[in-house]
């Protein structure tokens, strides 16, 4: 099922993100543990990351998407990055996804790895969106950044770049994580003014541990509101308490977003079914 069609019949949409095991940390079979823990949530779709940190990816993203579709009967969304892929590489991946029956792709530029020379065929995600739309009958999603991409000159410039993705054929946006909903509402208002009229999902990442969240924030540039930093400081030496406080913080964010008519919630699970289930149980009646 195309993700754009899901938004035509349901609001808010509730989706999850998982990632393949790293090559040096086990094999793809480990993903069953994660998916078995998430299956009862019955999300509207599950996205699967690709080559995190700019690393060259193998077929694990496509393989996991096929498992999600065939074993769990849940719509998958395959991440696809272009910074380290040529047109020939992308065409091969698209052929594989088509053979697996994967209909939805999240088109991303990808993180630049200083140790890997970028390919030259695609400079921006909008170019990848256009290439995918020309190459098959895929539903294409794009990323957006409520506080602006870390490499953008301004939020306005970043929104104009997002508009290029929409003009190229992207039908749905997933936002980068944020911890202060005012940034999402501000972005949504400016996006509407810019003529972006596709569903925008709010990306929410629950705190699992302090080191992890600091690493993610350094990568994406998300602001930390005083309430959030006080929580992290208060429970920094108590991992279990920090986890529960982080879950509560994410639930508060989601309730506020749903109250303000958000199109959907995309939960960055970090492959942690316990956290995802706790959040789902808290907001189930609001879905």
Give pLDDT tens digits for 129-187.
Answer: 999 999 999 999 999 999 998 888 899 999 999 999 999 999 999 999 999 999 999 99
Average pLDDT, the chain: 91
d(CA 175, CA 187): 10
Give pLDDT tens digits for 34-88.
Answer: 999 999 999 999 999 985 444 444 578 999 999 999 999 999 999 999 999 999 9
Residue 262 and residue 13 in contact, taking contact as beta carbons nearer than 8 Å: no
Give the residue-averaged pLDDT of 14-29.
79
Q: Known catalytic residue: 29?
A: no
Residue 96 and residue 122 in contact, taking contact as beta carbons nearer than 8 Å: no
Packing angle of the helix pair 87-100, 125-135 (nearest 10 deg): 50
Banded model confidence at residue 258, pLDDT cuts 50, 70, 90: very high
Furthest CA-CA distance within the chain = 52
Residue 97 and residue 140 in contact, taking contact as beta carbons nearer than 8 Å: no
Amino acid 182: pLDDT = 97
| Total residue length of the chain | 287
* DSSP per-residue letters across 93-148: HHHHHHHHT--EEEEE--PPPTTSPPPSS-SSHHHHHHHHHHHSS-EEEEEE-TT-
Q: What is the reported pTM?
A: 0.93
């Amino acid at each position: 099922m195309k993700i754009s069609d899901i938004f035509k019949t349901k609001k808010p949409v509730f989706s999850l993100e998982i990632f393949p095991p790293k090559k040096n940390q086990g094999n793809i079979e480990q993903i069953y543990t994660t998916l078995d823990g998430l299956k009862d949530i019955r999300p509207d779709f599950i996205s699967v990351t690709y080559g995190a940190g700019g690393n060259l990816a193998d077929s694990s993203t496509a393989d996991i998407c096929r498992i999600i579709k065939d074993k769990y009967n849940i719509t998958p969304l395959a991440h696809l990055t272009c910074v380290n892929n040529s047109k020939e590489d992308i065409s091969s991946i698209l052929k594989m996804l088509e053979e697996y029956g994967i209909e939805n792709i999240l088109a991303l530029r990808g993180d630049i790895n200083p140790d890997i020379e970028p390919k030259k065929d695609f400079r921006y995600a909008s170019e990848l969106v256009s290439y995918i739309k020309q190459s098959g009958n895929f539903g294409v999603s794009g990323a957006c950044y409520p506080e602006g991409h870390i490499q953008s000159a301004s939020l306005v410039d970043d929104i104009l770049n997002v508009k290029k993705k929409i003009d190229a054929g992207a039908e749905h946006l997933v936002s980068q994580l944020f911890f202060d909903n005012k940034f999402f509402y501000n972005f949504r208002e400016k996006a509407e003014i810019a003529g972006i009229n596709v569903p925008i999902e709010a990306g929410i990442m629950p705190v699992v541990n302090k080191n992890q969240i600091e690493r993610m924030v350094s990568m994406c540039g998300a602001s930390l509101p005083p309430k959030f930093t006080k929580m992290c400081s208060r429970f920094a030496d108590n991992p279990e308490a920090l986890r529960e406080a982080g879950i509560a913080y994410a639930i508060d964010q989601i309730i506020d977003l749903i109250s303000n008519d958000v199109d959907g919630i995309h939960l960055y699970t970090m492959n942690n079914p316990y956290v995802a289930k706790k959040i789902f149980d808290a907001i189930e009646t609001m879905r």
